[in-house]
Amino acid sequence: MRFKNKIVVLLGLMILTACASSIAVIGGSYYATQYDFSEFFAATDGRNFQVILAGNPFPGIDPNTVARELLPVMQAAKPRPALTFTYDAPVERPRPYYRLVLVFDSAPDLGSYAVCNGVTRTRANRPGLFYVYAVYCRNDMAMSETTAWTQASSPTDPRVDQLFRELFQVVFPDSKAYRPLSGGNNRR
């Protein structure tokens, strides 16, 4: 009987380990006091919403292929407005200029202010780890930011889809209840 219990415990641990490796981890978040979901909704509902990619989460795959394969994954995981993600920059820069910047394998000292002002820095890629720093910008101001990571081998890995589903809920929260009254925390 003891041997059977050990086998059950061992199998349980193996299943738990397998589940844990497929779960996306969301880091700390920050929200500017000016963040307002209704503003995001009004600016993006029924419109194109630009996503800017920096870095390559899968260095063994051509960056253009990664970008092409990530777009439908992000679209399937999109937040509530009827927006369409696009990499295309607007013909004429709108005011205010809303966009989502995704920096893969971002440098540890990279901040959202720099990202919204066009600065991106990356560090060496860690094979098998999909790590992204997401910053929602309005003009040169970060409205929200967070980090997320998961184990993944390609842009179409189901864990990447799950990561974006969770990430978008944090970057674009539709309820003030999910954000601290102090404007968030700035942990990365």
Residue 81 per-residue DSSP state: S
pLDDT at 146: 97
pLDDT in the model for residue 15: 43
Please tell me the distance from the alpha carbon of residue 94 to that of residue 102, in angstroms, as a whole number: 20
Q: What's the whole-number mean pLDDT along residues 157-186?
A: 79
Average pLDDT score over residue span 100-129: 96
Structure tokens at 125: 């890629």
**pTM summary value:** 0.84
Residue 5 has pLDDT above 90, yes or no: no
The arithmetic mean of pLDDT across residues 77-102, rounded, is 95
Instruction: Pick the more confident residue, 142 or 177.
Output: 142
Percent of the chain surpassing pLDDT 90:
80
Question: According to the model, what pLDDT value does residue 175 have?
Answer: 79
Please indicate whether residue 5 or residue 159 has the higher confidence score (pLDDT). 159
> Is residue 188 pLDDT above 90, yes or no?
no
Please list the alpha-helical segments (H only) found in 22-130.
37-44, 63-76, 112-116
Q: Is pLDDT at 182 greater than 90 in this prediction?
A: no
pLDDT score of 42 more than 80: yes
Average pLDDT (9-16) is 45
- Transcribe 85-111 into DSSP letters: EE-PPPSS--SS-EEEEEEETB-TT--
Percent of the chain with pLDDT over 70: 81
On the question of pLDDT at 6 being above 80, the answer is no
pLDDT beyond 80 at 177: no
Q: How far apart are CA 67 and CA 52, in angstroms?
A: 10
Check whether 46 has a pLDDT greater than 80. yes
Q: Work out the pLDDT band at 29, boundaries 50, 70, 90.
A: very high
Read off the tokens for 159.
């864990």
- The token duo for 109 is 């000292």
- The region that residue 179 occupies, defined by phi over 0 for left and psi between -120 and 50 for alpha, beta otherwise, is beta
